[in-house]
Each structure stands twice: as C-alpha cells, then as structure tokens.
Amino acid sequence: MTKQELILDFIKQFRDLGAENTFSNGMCFHFTVILRHRFGSLHCPIMYDQVANHFATEIEGRIYDITGDITDNPEYRWERWSDVKKQDPALAKIIRRDCILKVPDDQRSCELCAHCFYDEILNCFLCDYDNEPVDIYGVCRREV
C-alpha cells in the first residue's frame, strides 16, 4: 500500500464514522492536526485558504482534508498557515481565536489574553506547528 493509499484509508475511517460533517464545518484545523501527527508531524505544513476559511494538511506534496486528496481542487488557493501568520498577524489572531479555539463571545473581553485559558487546556493542539518554540505554561502568549 502506498503512503497516499494509507492516508486515504485513514481519512475514510473517519468518514465511515460520520466525521465528515464535523471536520468540514468548523473543525477542519483540528483534522489537520490529526493528519499531521499521524503522517509526518513537522514535515507536513498546515495549509490555509483565506476565501474558503479552510485548513488542510500538505503531505509529500499532496493536500488533504476530511474529504480526501484535494490537491487539484480549483476551489482552493492554498497558502502555508505560517506565511499567513507572518503576513497578517491581526487576521491570524482572529482566525485562531474564532475558528481554531472557538472562544465564546462572552469570554472575549481581553483581546490580548482571552485565549490563555484555552491554551492551557488544549495544550498540544495549540502549538503553532511551525517549528517555533511555544511556552504555554503560565505565560500569556500575546502573539498568534
């Protein structure tokens, strides 16, 4: 079985369990984390499409989400999430707060620190996955 077949089979297991709706509607970042940990860790960049507001994972030159291999799908214009964060930190902060962490509206009183509580709870899911050191224990990360 090729690596691509292994990846597609792994994704199919989630789809067979009914997870497609979950990971297609608001939890796509978390599926990228699952794929990344399973198939390559730091060697698999997280990709982001700003228009579709959608995350996916690049593994060996192919891009995957819960629907499978979407590399050739003309609907998407992929950028590395790490590049988005560098080019527009304010946008990345909003995406992180609203789309990744899903901080409830009533807990957004502190724009700089609202996510600290979530960082500690979610720990490994919130590492920025860009080979940058992350200190989440008792330290407020004011950057995205």
10 Å CB burial of residue 15 (0-12, 13-18, 19+) is: middle
**In angstroms, how far is CA 2 from the centroid of its own chain?**
25
Given the structure tokens 């995205």, which residue do they identify?
144
For position 98, what pLDDT does the model report?
A: 85
In this structure, are residues 144 and 86 in contact, taking their beta carbons and an 8 Å threshold? no
Reference 13, options 28, 34, 27; nearest CA is 34
Global confidence as pTM = 0.76
92: three-class secondary structure by DSSP: helix
CA distance 123 to 118: 8
Give per-residue pLDDT as tens, 44-103.
Answer: 899 999 999 999 999 999 999 999 999 999 999 999 999 999 999 999 888 988 888 887
In this structure, are residues 45 and 82 in contact, taking their beta carbons and an 8 Å threshold? yes
**Positive or negative torsion for Cα 100, 128, 41, 47:** positive
In this structure, are residues 81 and 130 in contact, taking their beta carbons and an 8 Å threshold? yes
Label residue 126 by pLDDT band (50, 70, 90).
Answer: very low
Query: What are the structural domain ranges in the chain?
Result: 3-126
